[in-house]
Structure 1
Amino acid sequence: MSAEAEIPMKQQVNAKQVLVLDDDPVFRALVRSLLESQGYQVTEGDNGLTGLQSLTTAVPDLVICDIEMPLLNGIEFVEEVSHQYPSLPMIVVSGTGKMSVVAKALKFGIKDFVTKPIADPVHLLDTVSSTLKESQDSMLMSRDFSSQWFRLNEQGELPEDQELHWHLDYLHQHPDVSRELLQALLPEPRTQQGDWTLNFRVLQNPERVPLVFDYAWNINGQFLFYIVDSNVAQDLAVSSTLLVRALFDDYIRNHDGQLFHLEELLINLSKAINVAECAAPLNAAVGLVDFPSQSIELHSAGVSAHWHNGTNTTTVNTPKCLGVNQDRETTVCNMSREHSNSLKLTGLDSSTCQLIIQNRQI
């Protein structure tokens, strides 16, 4: 361990219990040594099955789990634990180049990840500390992993003393890994509720930061979504995209059971992009579909959004990128029940995107 990476000894961390699962005994010994130097109490296991058996007798405060293990691999273990122990925070460990696998684990509610080999022990300890801190508040357990990285507060804002985790530096240094992570985190392109189906049709340039979209339904018959082309942000493309994801997920979490309001989300996005040192303006389209009123509210930034409801076409275009200013201008368009509705974006960087909304009774 280098002098720069020396870790000061601590006597106790409120007796926090950590379960470390990895089939590599050398790695387990390293992690145990690091954690015990900070006062954590550590138990070990060499596979996922051993981990599940251990949880039946004692549930720790945190699990650190390798992705690739015998008998029951990390993904299988994470999926099982997420169902049986939904409030148990977990951190996954993966070798470089396994980001698509890590992304699968992140979708099961994993709050963070670390990579092998551990180049800087401080990164691991910071990850453990922040994950345990977040888990103390049950309201924060539903946060997306990117929200934890950005440490958004309850208002969905970035505190002035914000310090990002080491992950952003890692992703900046590994552009291939960054593209793989963003691609793997995309939701299913097709979704439906009641009589309506929605389908995102996206063609990507594999050499560029991928076009990223996400969406959420609520019980009031609303569908909120965004589509981000972050290549204009250049070196800050990945961190800018993850910031949008974090803000979007926190907005959804804070509006559980309540009506979505597009202007509120746009305020949060613009404000955060303006104040975050790790973010830059980007091209985006943000929309809110209201099925009870059969309408869609649209905001485009840096791209042209063409809405067609089978009879009429409306073009929405704000030249300035999202985050350049506080522009929150939106356009409301009618939606057809008898015809297929489509939102097509133009002006994207080496990508194409279209959202098709259709009533299944057509």
Structure 2
Amino acid sequence: MASSTLLVIDDDTIVRESIVAYLEDSGFNILQAENGEKGLAVYKETPPDLILCDLRMPKMDGLTVLRSVRELSPDTPFIVVSGAGVMADVVEALRLGASDYIIKPIVDLEVLEYAINRALENAQLILENRRYRESLEEAIHSLENNLHLLQEDQKAGRQVQMKMLPQEPLTFQNFKVDHQIIPSLYLSGDFVDYFALNEHSFAFYLADVSGHGASSAFVTVLLKHMSINLLREYQSHGGRVRVKPSHVLNFLNRSLLETGLGKHVAVFGGVVDTRDQKLTYAFGGHYPLPILSTPEETLCIEGRGLPVGLFEDATFEDVTIDLPEQFTLTILSDGILEVLPQQTLQEKEDYLLSVIKEGAVTVSALTDKLGLNTIKAAPDDVAMLILARN
């Protein structure tokens, strides 16, 4: 990984200088020392990203340097260089936490560079995993506190949950996203969110957590936390990485399984890019199918994908479609199927299509047409999210 700072410690001047010259040509920043004592002093003054150290040196050998470094930093990548006749020292170095070893004489310096890059990449993965675990522990701690609050007072908990939802519709150029959630209890297992990614794209999703009440609301807090972390990570890259809904669902799937909460989520998520006027979306066990309505036709958009947080080997697929000049995309949680009066699933789906085709293409209009405001005790949470243009 070019631009990383490396510390090269070797008492053999010729070997050390040849290694330093090669690595500098490869774009690394190099610190160097002629023995273990000086190397350890350089390390303490300017901690490098990786240490490359000879094992056999006068005054202080490489194993002593490694032990000292490990006391100060357990995770700094440390590659040992050893003669072929001292493999016992190599084994001891690996036991002490060395990342890799190189046998002298180093005939091919490209092999050395490959080992360095691999060690740096592994160190970066370890760092990212630690940060993720710390973030997850903080989230779980926060969730435990929130759950205690929810158990004490469901109404207060509902206020907390409502604050996590978008407080107003999103207007992005000539697009608009709006939502409505009608909980079966004070606390809902349904959740929606939408937000700008950069100046030319925005994301949205509707999630339906299995079950409802406090335990499901607990997971919606976790989903909100995860989406915030993903957005921050995306923005930390300057928005250069293209957001793929399938990648987000994969991340959520792994994260929910790791929590061990025993909850899964049906999700539909998408990203609109206004440069090419396209919508990229992915299904995570979501049903009923979202309904796309234009002046010419009203139909269900297709897709497939297993629920999120249920199967370790679940895979998710991105689908990209061109967006019409005028359209609405209506996404509903499966709670809507519980409150419709029709008898069969097909009749319920046909009724939803007809209602939207007849013009119920805003949150208020659809809520009124379906009579959702008059429901006193819904058997399941009902959530809707509507994306529209013009």
User: When the two structures are superposed, what TM-score results if normalisation uses the length of structure 1?
Assistant: 0.50
Q: Give the helix-richer structure, 1 or 2.
A: 2
User: When the two structures are superposed, what TM-score results if normalisation uses the length of structure 2?
Assistant: 0.46
